[in-house]
Amino acid sequence: MLLSFLFWTLSLADSTAKPQSVADSVPQDFRVIRSVTIQGNHKTRERIILRELEVKTGDTIQRQQLTEKLAWDQRKIANTNLFVTVDVIAKEAEPHYVDIEVIVKERWYIFVIPVFDLADRNFNEWWYERGRSFRRTIYGARLNYKNVTGNADKINAIFEFGFTRRTQVLYTLPYIDKAQKTGISVGASYQTNKEVAYRSAFDKLVYFRSEDLMRDRFFTNVILTRRNQFYNFHRLELRFVRNSIADTVAKLNPDYFLHGRTRQRYFLLSYLFTHDRRDAVAYPLRGHYLNLMANQYGLLRSDEVRLFEMTASYTRYWPLGGKFYASNSVRGKLSWPDRQPYINLRGLGYLTDFVRGYELYVIDGQRYGLVRNTLKYQLLNVRKQLNWVPMKQFSTVPLALYLSVFGDMGYVNSTLAQEYQSRLANSWLYGGGVALDIATFYNIVGRISYSVNRQGQTGIFFNFTYDL
């Protein structure tokens, strides 16, 4: 009887004892994520934003690590290019609990942009080498429609006339699966020219113009993307290409398509791996970026091109303290065989692969290496609120100014240097100078630079990029 009473008393005490809360079991320097809320996403679906967050409701995270994770989560959301501003805030709630608030300001997603562009590789070539001729201009319109359905999908369409006539359309859906890891893009492009750079000589492009059609180019492609982790991206593309040129171009350069051909048809299979941990895509100051690509031109026996190439690039960005920042970039390309169609032969001088100081040159070759070093000083970094602007998507204007010094080194290996009278291939290239960079909203970046190269040539050069 006494024993039964004792067991009843103990069981009653146990049942009435206050259970230990989650907070009581959390160490002092840890925090539990109680909730994650999102504000300002009027069109963007929540899952697109939550996809970029490493912290989740219910996570237990060391306080210092939480601060670091939220900083990177804010950068990842900003790098979706869906928002003008992004703020990720942790608010203390109950002891050891925090509420995460994501506050975004959506950008304007539809741009119909009048096109007035230059047909040359860059503004500097047009200004210094082509007599600033407005005959070499392209006009038309471009449609950039981002976040079409609120799923970060986009439509890009181009309608251009003038020096080059081009019609191009591309639709991209970044996630087609429930796990938000797999995406797809489909597109097509058709382009015609009456003036063609049919070869290079002395490291400059040589053009031929006629009132007749000199070249037409068509391609259609399907791209699959995979994002298993936050910072790793895989991209697999299958493309069909059909190019043709006039007999005149084939006579001027029989190697344009090789063997005097006037037609080129082939399938291209391309794989790209990207590891992107930059703080800002348009103008990074911290982090690193790795890019590895392999391209196989020609998959079928009937394909008229057989070419394999690999490219790699790695860039590191880091703060030096105060308002100083540095970056270092290494890039390279290998391709086989040595005998390649001129249209597929690309060395330094195209797109963003050039030694600064050599903007006016193209150095064709099968292999190249490029090293870039930059030291920057931040002159200004503000975010202005323009209340008098009626459209809220344009009322917040970030503006940053940077003064930089740079030094580059490059080398192009070419077995065709003598054939194309190249003076710069198979020799070291050095360039350096100073620049003023302007970065603002919608990923608009402008740069004016003064540089000198190994040959002692100097120049003032302009560059401008945007991603509306």
How many other β-carbons are positioned within 10 Å of the β-carbon of residue 225? 21
- Residue percentage of the chain with pLDDT more than 90: 68
Q: Cα-atom radius of gyration of the chain, to the nearest Å?
A: 28
Q: Point out the least confidently predicted range of 4-8, 264-268, 399-403.
A: 4-8
Task: Give the residue carrying structure tokens 């940053």.
Answer: 400
Region 213-234: mean pLDDT is: 95
Dig out the tokens for 161 from the structure. 């006339």
252-261, 360-369, 396-405: the lowest-pLDDT one? 396-405
Is 30 or 274 the better-scoring residue by pLDDT? 274
Task: Specify the pLDDT at position 385.
Answer: 79
Across 239-263, average pLDDT: 96
Higher pLDDT, 211 or 287: 287
Residues constituting the chain: 468
Q: Compute the C-alpha angle 301/307/308, nearest 5°.
A: 120
Q: Where in the chain is the domain with CATH 3.10.20.310?
A: 27-105
Pairing of strands 428-440, 396-413: antiparallel
Describe the strand order of the beta sheet including 83-92 as a list of residue ranges.
Answer: 60-62, 30-39, 97-106, 83-92
Q: Does domain 27-105 have CATH number 3.40.50.720?
A: no
Confidence of residue 22 (pLDDT cuts 50, 70, 90): very low
Summary mean pLDDT of the chain: 88
Contact 241, 190 (CB under 8 A): no
Task: Name the pLDDT band for 432 (thresholds 50, 70, 90).
Answer: very high
* Residue 77 confidence (pLDDT) above 60: yes
Q: How confident is the model at residue 114 (pLDDT cuts 50, 70, 90)?
A: confident
Which has more confidence, 442 or 402? 402
Greater confidence, 360 or 318?
A: 318
CATH topology of domain 110-465: Porin (2.40.160)
* pLDDT score of 11: 45
Decide if pLDDT at 293 tops 80. Answer: yes
Mean pLDDT across the stretch 417-445?
92
Residue listed under structure tokens 């359309």: 169
Residue 121 pLDDT class (50, 70, 90 cuts): low
| Entry pTM | 0.84
Which stretch of 18-22, 84-88, 360-364, 419-423 has the lowest confidence by average pLDDT?
A: 18-22
Distance CA 400, CA 382 (A): 6
The per-type count for the chain, helices as H runs and strands as E runs, is 5, 22
Range with the largest mean pLDDT of 18-27, 275-284, 436-445: 275-284
| DSSP letter (8 states) at residue 18 | P
State the Cα–Cα distance between residues 104 and 82, nearest whole angstrom. Answer: 9
pLDDT greater at residue 119 or residue 330? 330
pLDDT at res. 191: 95
pLDDT band at 2 (very low <50, low <70, confident <90, very high): very low
Please report, for residues 23, 74, 96, 191, 239, the alpha-carbon distance to residue 29 in angstroms, rounded to integers and kept in the order given: 12, 22, 8, 61, 53
3-class secondary-structure state, position 442: coil
The pLDDT value given to residue 394: 72
pLDDT of residue 389: 73
Average pLDDT over residues 261-282: 95
* pLDDT on residue 384: 81
279: pLDDT strictly greater than 70: yes
For residue 5, pLDDT over 70 is answered with no
Q: Which residue has the higher pLDDT, 94 or 215?
A: 215
125 three-class SS: helix
Distance CA 156, CA 186 (A): 11
Q: Which has more pLDDT, 258 or 130?
A: 258
Mean pLDDT of 17-34: 60
Whether the pLDDT of residue 212 is over 80: the answer is: yes
Side-chain half-sphere CA neighbours of 344 within 13 A:
27
- Of all helices (H) and strands (E), which one includes residue 370? strand 367-385
Sorted by sequence, the CB contacts under 8 Å of residue 13 that are 6+ apart come out as none
Q: Could you tell me if 451 and 431 are in contact, meaning their C-beta atoms sit under 8 angstroms apart? A: yes
Neighbours of 94 (CB within 10 A): 12
The mean pLDDT of 342-363, rounded to a whole number, is 93
Locate CATH 2.40.160.50 in the chain: 110-465
What is the rounded distance in angstroms from the CA atom of residue 11 to the CA atom of residue 2? 14
**Residues 400/440, Cβ–Cβ less than 8 Å:** yes
Residue from 251, 258, 246 nearest 215 by CA:
246
The torsion region of residue 239 among left (phi > 0), alpha (psi -120 to 50) and beta comes to beta
First-last CA distance in the chain: 84
Q: How far apart (Å, rounded) are the C-alpha atoms in residues 200 and 342?
A: 9
Say yes or no to pLDDT of 13 above 60.
no
